[in-house]
Structure 1
């Protein structure tokens, strides 16, 4: 199962890249990883119920919002470190695409282009015998609009001269609300680590988390940065 999310570009805030990325999780490992995340939820919130009040979102942790609004700096950093450790140790494939908004000519198509490149990288991450299904955040309107595009990728290949056929990603694109899926939440954490490494975040918490990231190997299985010039 491939769980994915996105981080939008915000050039006015120094974030030029639009990211799409996620984790490809073997079916027999999902419950194992969910158990680790649920145990952390119980430790923090005294329940593992899947609600907005127990949802792990990196943005909420970073900005002291939602269920993390009463946590101080060290506690929030410790939570993010625990989540990063779970991600780093999980038996998953990590895939991401970073599209440079400033260098892209067709800026209005940035979400479509990023998603197509992401589908290619997921395809490349699969071995010959593997198949996967894409599951994204239901609240992401851009991705919901791309279900028809994905169907064309499967029949005709991705939409450029050097495109590839998508044969390892089966069925359609599926969606769930992030607070109903620990795996989508972990994909959110992964996108946070990826976007963080591109250096757009500033401030004390960001600097402290940069130190945390040095402790873990989160090198992707497949990735794409585009355009390069």
Structure 2
């Protein structure tokens, strides 16, 4: 079984969904490894509760429980690097799908589905494709968001009649429904948040400082070998 953790990262330019596909045998080990990242940060910097969330935005910008690391970019990069390395050290796969929001608005105006629905559809197709190729089943666990019941209905439809678009397929390997949970309670949802946030930031070229660009590239290099698919749809 592939425990498939899903989270979004978006801006005015692009809407991304990422998935970390974790074999059931790796889930506990990866959770413990990410717990160790937080414990290591506590030992080094203090003032961090043990249940602190490994949230990409908060670590990157020194917010919430990471606020006391403001002015310490190397420390924050170190925490992010440790977390990504923990992910990379496990037998997970990463899938990233996105939609260009400028092109979506230009082509369809207001008459388009929510970007989350569009990217989730593309993500489910690629998860199903990978799971079928691997002779596995996938269970979807997504970060809480608006419209959850609608996304569950869409999955039921994709099982019954298939998805839409030029890569339409009938979803056959995703079991049960889409389970939504709070990322604050799941290290594995935090894992996909870290991956999605960094990939999004690199994609939109958010950093002008060459040092920041280099740091982002070095961080991404840790998990890039785990990526089995990434694509942005440009309508």
Question: Paired residue for 1:27?
Answer: 24
Q: 1:48 to 1:129 in 2, by over 3 A?
A: farther
Instruction: Output aligned runs, 1:161-200, within 5 Å.
Output: 162-200=167-205
Q: CA deviation at 1:162?
A: 4.0
Per-residue Cα deviation, 1:94-132 (whole angstroms, up to 9, x for no partner):
111011111123464222111100100111111352001
Q: Give the 3 Å change call, closer, same or farther, for CA 117–187 of structure 1 in structure 2.
A: same
- Work out whether residues 14 and 99 of structure 2, in 8 Å CA contact, stay in contact via their aligned partners in 1: yes
Would you say how many aligned residue pairs link Structure 1 and Structure 2?
A: 219
Aligned residue in 1 for 2:58: 60
Q: Deviations over 1:118-177 (max 9, x none)?
A: 100111111352001100112x11445311111101111102354101011111000110
Secondary structure at the aligned position of 2:165 is classed as: coil
Residue in 2 that maps onto 1:209:
215
- The answer to whether residue 126 in structure 2 is matched with residue 129 in structure 1 is no
Tell me whether 177-186 or 68-77 shows the greater mean CA deviation: 68-77
Bigger CA drift: 205-214 or 111-120? 205-214
Aligned counterpart, 1:5: 7
Q: Distance in 2 between matches of 1:84 and 1:29?
A: 15
**Aligned equivalents of 1:179, 1:6: Cα separation in 2:** 15
Over 6 Å off, 4+ runs: none
2:68 match: secondary structure: coil
Q: SS where residue 224 of structure 2 aligns?
A: coil
Alignment partners' CA distance in 2, 1:214 and 1:20: 16
Alignment of 1:30-49 (within 5 A): 30-45=27-42, 49=50
- Which 5+ residue runs of structure 1 have no aligned equivalent? 11-15
Return the TM-score normalized by structure 1: 0.87
Q: Would the alpha carbon gap of residues 81 and 99 (structure 1) be closer, same or farther in structure 2, given more than 3 Å must change?
A: same
Distance 2:188 2:50 in 1: 14
Shift of 1:87: 2.2
Match of 2:122 among 117, 121, 125: 117
Equivalent position SS for 2:96: strand
Sort the Cα spacing of 1:128 and 1:94 in 2 relative to 1 into closer, same or farther, 3 A: closer
8 Å CA contact 1:97–1:114 kept in 2: the answer is: yes
1:42-66 deviations in whole A, cap 9, x for unaligned? 222478854xxx1000100111101
SS in 2 for 1:91: coil
Residue 85 of structure 1 aligns to a residue whose secondary structure is: helix
Contact 1:97–1:117, Cα closer than 8 Å, also in 2: yes
